[in-house]
Amino acid sequence: MTNATNKGRVAVLGAGTMGAGIAQVAAMSGYSVSLFDVSTAQLDKARAGAAQSLDRMVAKGKLDAAAKESALTAIETFTDVAKAVAAASVVVEAVPERMELKRELFTAVDRAAPESALLGTNTSSLSITEIASVVRDPSRVVGLHFFNPVPVMELLEVVKGVRTSEQSVDAALTFSKALGKTAIVVRDFPGFATSRLGVAIGAEAIRMLEQGVASAEDIDRAMELGYRHPMGPLKLTDLVGLDVRLAILEHLHREVGEQFRPPALLRQMVRAGKLGKKSGEGFYKWDAEGARKA
């Protein structure tokens, strides 16, 4: 990834973990970035998170200090969505997984973004076709599903809704390449190719913990050492966010079937505010720098 040329403007809507990561990667790849959130505190947190990740890359020799500075400078923050998307060539929505919220946002984006802009959603399981239905020209809407941590994970899952045009899929593939990602193209079906398999393993691990099969550490170690997963399913749920995984499971339970019924323990933990890394506690305890506490 380089930031030598300016390729246009990417508007990222939602400055949570994913939005911050997408903004960072777009900025590192030479795009100007408009990062929108309703909360200025969240925008500050996203900027600090991007700076921390860029520092890590500088420390590892993957990026020079000047490239870090120009990536940070390329990210402008907004609390007004119309201003954020006004000059965008690509919009990536990454707000919480609630259909009504996404539909409201896409209605506003449709009014304010240039007609030529590609409209992407980072939803991990909701229907692209349904989100697109509020946009006058739904052929512009495509799923752009990124993975956490965005600066490290290579995959971009491009999701083709019922009315998504081939031109939009091509634009999504070009965008993926510009970000240094490898894309797969999947049909709009609940959970796509990734979330469906990911949450199935995660939910089963939580049920095993409920049933006292083994400790959280040993369930994770089983998959790390026995199956070479880079991170066990409970640790990964802490990284992704327990609330995010619960929302995906609830959706897949409704849309696909009984095998996705969310475990009671997951519901209880989310009610208790144990959301994983971002809240400091999930199946493990985490410090403010994202390192595991003993």
Binding region for ligand 3HC (CB under 6 A): 53, 56-57, 60, 124, 147-149, 151-153, 195, 198, 230-231, 236, 240, 244
At 265, is the secondary structure helix, strand, or coil?
Answer: helix
Shortest Cβ 147–ligand 3HC spacing (Å): 4
Burial class of residue 200 in the structure, from the number of CB atoms within 10 Å of its CB (0-12 exposed, 13-18 middle, 19+ buried): middle
207 sits in which H/E element: helix 195-210
Cβ proximity to ligand 3HC, 82 vs 99, nearer residue:
99
Q: How far is the CB of 11 from ligand 3HC (least distance, A)?
A: 19
Q: Are strands 155-160 and 141-145 parallel, antiparallel or unpaired?
A: antiparallel
Q: How far is the CB of 48 from ligand 3HC (least distance, A)?
A: 12
Indicate the residue among 171 and 240 with the shorter CB distance to ligand 3HC: 240
Q: How far is the CB of 55 from ligand 3HC (least distance, A)?
A: 9
Do the Cβ atoms of 153 and 146 come closer than 8 Å? yes
Phi then psi for 183, rounded to 5 degrees? -100, 150
Q: Where do the H-state alpha helices sit in 60-193?
A: 65-74, 81-85, 99-112, 128-132, 166-178
| Strand-pair category, 141-145 with 9-13 | unpaired
Residue nearest to ligand 3HC (CB): 124
Structure tokens at 15: 């400055």
Nearer to ligand 3HC, 67 or 113 (CB): 67
Least distance from ligand 3HC to the Cβ atom of residue 169, Å? 20
What's the farthest any 2 CA atoms get from each other in the chain? 55
Phi-psi region of 257 (alpha: psi -120 to 50; beta: other; left: phi over 0): left
User: In the bound complex, what is the minimum distance in angstroms from residue 54's beta carbon to ligand 3HC?
Assistant: 8
Smaller CB separation from ligand 3HC, 113 or 252: 252
Closest to ligand 3HC by CB, 42 vs 124, is: 124
> Given the complex with ligand 3HC, which of 147 and 283 has the nearer CB atom?
147
